[in-house]
Every structure is written in structure tokens, then in C-alpha cells.
Amino acid sequence: MDTMTIERAYELARARYAQVGVDTEAALALLDTVSLSLHCWQGDDVAGFESPEAALTGGGLVVTGACPGRARTVEELRADLDKAYSLLPGEHRLNLHAIYGEFGGARVDRDAIGLEHYQGWRDWAKERGLKLDFNATCFSHPKAAAGFTLSSKDAEIRAFWIEHVKRCRLIAAWMGREQGSACVHNLWIPDGSKEVSVDRHGHRRLLRESLEEIYATAYRPSELKDAVESKLFGIGSESFVVGSHDFYLSFAVKHAVMICLDMGHFHPTESVADKLSSIMTFSPEALIHVSRAVRWDSDHVVILNDELRAVAEVIVRDGLLGRVHLALDYFDASLNRVGAWVIGARATLKAMLLALLEPTRMLIEAEESGDTFRRLAALEELKSLPWGAVWDYHCVRNNVPPGWEWRRAVKEYEEAVLRGRG
């Protein structure tokens, strides 16, 4: 579609939205402030760069598929990320796991990582105007093989992981200080058991003690924002997960850290959007891991579905822009990995746009007057308004391909670069 056609369609959409009291220009200005944190691990199937033979092993995570083109080096991963960012409107971030450091071929265990292992990422991000977020990596390691890390009853194992997370927070604070934007450090651990556990309290007491030691070191909020992430279950922890939602929510409120709500980490009948609305009544900030579960926490590529729209609506309706941080979290090796990044990121941005194009004040007025018919009718009619024309215009204005056109760029990159990797 040519630019002139997109601009004409946008003007018609703008007029249509004005009829229901929505200023599309104001909505797009707010959309420009939405910054997604893209997850590095989609590009290489959560292998990382600790060693040439590094690969995901256990810890409640499984990557399926064998599409050619997996990034095998830091340089390949950065090239793939460059391509993905070039197809996204707006300014976004990069979410790094600790295993993605540059270790120069040396064996650097996780309790020995330092700032020097991430200087290359910092330089790369600075050149591109990107901001970094960071995650401790408490899985795919011999000291996680027994199923317990920070909640292990083995004091030596606990000490190893405590030191790892302490170092990760130090690195994250350094990143935040260097980039002039707080680095979000998120902590997820795979601790739990496949069968029924008797001493649940014992493991949770140890996890609490480990966390209290880790977070005893304070950093400036302008440099570091901490988050803790819960889970309902994982592979190998089907019967007991130490870091449950109740545990981490209690810890987060008591210790003033963010709760991370992964959209795939709850029972299918639970609503992350509803949880977010409740939590933000008491917490200043929160982190959302944007994911998609299919029957279980399967980390499917994010699409524009009802769950994603509901989360975006809560963020906009409740005035939470800037207080809720959005980070993508999924991994799929069954399709083009760069394309998977772009599909999920654009779907998330579309959900935010749809929420920003809602005449919220009118809907609240109908609700408060008891006119539930008007409210429901309006919500239904809004679904067919020409928001797609607004999205295409947003893409064109940000110099990225609108509509389906970005797929051609991905396929060309696949033919020129990805297929040559084997």
C-alpha cells in the first residue's frame, strides 16, 4: 500500500474516531512513549554464550522446533536484533539474561560474572540508542539440576546462587547508571518438585532468607528497579513451586520490589489484567512479561488476543502508563525467530493502540449512570472502528513497513542471512 493511500485512510479514521470523542493524534503521541523490552533469548533458543556447546537444559523450560537460522554468536544475535528493531515503530529496550555475557571463550561461572562481560552489550546498545534490562539466570546449570537454587537446603548451593543474583543486580545498576535509565532486573527461579513436597514451608523460609540477603544491598531507583516473578508450575515442578504468586506478592509488598506477572504463569481461568488492576492499587510499579500460554505455560509467540487486549486496557484505563513495564517473554524455534520477535512486539503495540483509542471517559460515564446497555453497545461497536488505518499511519510515520509489508523484509533477511547458518 502506498503512503498516500495510508494517509487518506488515516484522515478518514481520524474523523471517525473524533465522532466518538477520541483524538487519534493524542493517542499516537502516547503510543510513542510505550517502550517494549525485547527478550534476547528468542533469537538463540535460550542457549546463551557461556560455552560453545551452551544449550537450554532443564529448569522448567522447553524450546520446540528446529527452524534454521538460530543465532550462534553474539554478533549473529545482535544482527538479528537489529533487523527486528528496524521493523518496529517506536523506541524500545533489550532484555538480557546473564548467560548472554561475552566471556571470551573462558569458563566463567555464574558466581564470578562481572561488568566486563557486558561492556560489549552496553556499547552496542549505546550506539543504537537502546536501553538495557537484565535477568539473573538460575537455570540450565549443574547447581540447578536438583530442582532447587535459592531455596535449596544445601547451604553451598544457596550461597552460589545468592552470589550470582547479587552480581546480576550490581551489573543491572551499572547498566542503569550508564544509560541514564533505570535497568529492570527480574528474578525467576525454577525451584520446585515434580511430586508432592512435604516441607513446603522449609523451602519457602529459605527462599525468603536468600532474597532478604540479596536485596539488603540498596541501589538508587534511578539505576535499578527490582522485580520478582512467580509461576504456577513448570516442567519438573508440577506439584510444588516455591516461588508461587502468593509468596512473591507478599514479598514484593513487604520489601517494596516490583511483582512480575508473566501472562503464561497462571491458571487459564485467571486474569492477569484483573490481578494487575488490584496490585497497582497498592504498588507503585509492576512488570508484565508478555507471553501466550496454550493450555499451559508454553511461551507461544504473542498475538493480538483478548488476554493481551485486556492487559493493555487496564494499563490505559487505570492511568498506568509509565508505571507498568512491558517485556516480551516467549521462545519458538518452529518459525523464523526474527519474525517471531516482530509478530509479538507489533501485537503488543497494537493492543496498546487499541486501548489508547478507546473513549474511556464516555464509557465510565455510561457505567456510573447505570446505563449498562450503552456501555456494552459502545464496547462492541468500538471493535469495528478503523484502528488498522491508524496503526498503518503510525508505522509510516515511524519509517517502518506498515501492514503486511514487513514480512518481505524478514523473508529477504532469511534468504540472505539465516539460511546460511545451517
- DSSP per-residue letters across 67-128: -S----SHHHHHHHHHHHHTTSSS--EEEEEGGGS--TT----TTS--GGGGHHHHHHHHHH
DSSP conformational letter for 334: S
| Distance (Å, whole) CA 322 – CA 311 | 14
pLDDT per residue as tens digits for the range 163-176: 999 999 999 999 99
Say if 351 falls within a structural domain. Answer: yes
Residue from 343, 359, 325, 332 nearest 404 by CA: 343
**Is 10 part of any domain?**
no
pLDDT in tens, 213-224: 999 999 999 999
The rounded distance, in Å, linking the Cα atoms of 201 and 282 is 26
Q: Is residue 28 assigned to a domain?
A: no
Cα(233)–Cα(60) distance, integer angstroms: 8
pLDDT digits (tens, 9 = 90+) for 380-406: 999 999 999 999 999 999 999 999 999
Give the chain's domain count: 1
pLDDT for 297 equals 85
Closest CA to 341 of 403, 290, 392: 290
pLDDT value at residue 56 = 55
What one-character DSSP code corresponds to residue 302?
A: P
Interval 54-113: pLDDT, tens: 555 555 577 888 899 999 999 999 999 999 999 999 999 999 999 999 999 999 999 999
CATH number for 117: 3.20.20.150
Q: Is residue 13 part of a domain?
A: no
Does some domain include residue 82? yes
Q: Which domain holds residue 151?
A: 35-359
The whole-angstrom separation of Cα 4 and Cα 404 is: 17
pTM, whole model, 2 decimals?
A: 0.96
Q: What pLDDT score does 393 carry? A: 98
Would you say residue 297 lies in a domain? yes
* 388 inside domain: no
The answer to whether residue 5 is domain-embedded is no
Q: Where are the alpha helices (DSSP H) in 137-199?
A: 155-179
> Residues with catalytic annotation?
188, 229, 231, 262, 265, 289, 297, 299, 329
